[in-house]
Amino acid sequence: MRRKVTKAIFPVAGLGTRILPATKSVPKEIMTLVDRPLVQYAIDEARAAGIKEFIFVTSRGKSALEDYFDHSPVLEQELRKKGKTELLETLKSTDMESGAIAYIRQHKALGLGHAVWCARRLIANEPFAVMLPDDVIAAEKPCLQQMVEAYEESGGNMVAAMEVPPEKASSYGVLDVAEDHGSVVRVKGMVEKPKAEDAPSNLAVIGRYILEPTVLRNLNKLKQGSGGEIQLTDAIAEDITSDVPVYGYRFRGQRFDCGSKAGFLQATVAFGLSRDDLRDDLAGYLREVIQTDKAAQ
């Protein structure tokens, strides 16, 4: 019987340089998208997929992230006193049970592969998920839940994949596809940040993974790869040569790169318009902006 995926690693040690100066004092993972920090979207998605243990790989200056998941007795008491039960329930949804969350420090910025490797002792010999909170995915069924359901059928390693224009391939790990079965593709290779002319396909890896523990053993042996970092895609690709299958999963949903300013703004508009309490005001404002812009042209 295939083991269930109950652990997830959240690599959150990055400096967030693409959205400076905000990230000079605020970890990018707790920057607010509408009214929730980015990391809350990732946690909610993980919970929906059956994740029970949450492992954060952090770095210096991330204490605000740890505080966010702690209880806030004074605030809770004030909300209770004022009868704000709806806000109290919202606040409670951000709390994490004692023992459900763990924090590990990544002392040197050696890449995503190294960040995942830092959590190896807490994973032991189980399959696990990796989630990058920068990648926020709007989907009717949460992306990781889609992947877990597909993984229960296929096993092996699975990465979330989406089609990108050829000129953007150099920003991603790209899949070399052996068999295409629609939502699931079997992979024969992975190339990290290839030039457009060298990309084996237009299927790019984005920030959701379900991995076998063999990947951690591969990371033990890896040297620095593309960009002088230890690449997670290299460790996954090594499994292909060891007869551990690797699959790409074309998820159903829209991905926003909230590690970039443009992506963050696009996500804010999309998630704002999806909210019943915000849609009318925001849509009206956007129509005004577009009409004013057209009139000025």
Q: Per the domain annotation, does 277 fall within a domain?
A: no
CA–CA separation, 245 vs 260, rounded Å?
32
Q: Per the domain annotation, does 278 fall within a domain?
A: no
Place 163 in a pLDDT band, splitting at 50, 70 and 90: very high
Q: Which domain holds residue 176?
A: 7-259
Q: Per the domain annotation, does 284 fall within a domain?
A: no
Domains: count for the chain? 1
CATH number for the domain spanning 160: value is 3.90.550.10
Mean pLDDT estimate for the chain:
87
Is the confidence at residue 225, as pLDDT, over 60? no
| 275 close to 35: Cβ distance less than 8 angstroms | no
Cβ burial of 153 (10 Å; 0-12, 13-18, 19+) is: exposed
Q: Per the domain annotation, does 287 fall within a domain?
A: no
Q: What's the whole-number mean pLDDT along residues 132-149?
A: 95
Is the confidence at residue 25, as pLDDT, over 80? no
CA–CA separation, 20 vs 296, rounded Å?
31
| 122 close to 55: Cβ distance less than 8 angstroms | yes
| Paired residues of 185 in beta bridges | 180, 248
pTM above the 0.85 mark? yes
Q: Per the domain annotation, does 116 fall within a domain?
A: yes
pLDDT per position as a tens digit, 77-89 = 888 888 888 888 8
Q: Per the domain annotation, does 266 fall within a domain?
A: no
Q: Per the domain annotation, does 196 fall within a domain?
A: yes
pLDDT per position as a tens digit, 37-50 = 999 999 999 999 99
What Cα–Cα distance (Å) separates residue 272 from each residue in 139, 253, 265, 277, 281?
15, 16, 10, 9, 10
Q: Per the domain annotation, does 224 fall within a domain?
A: yes
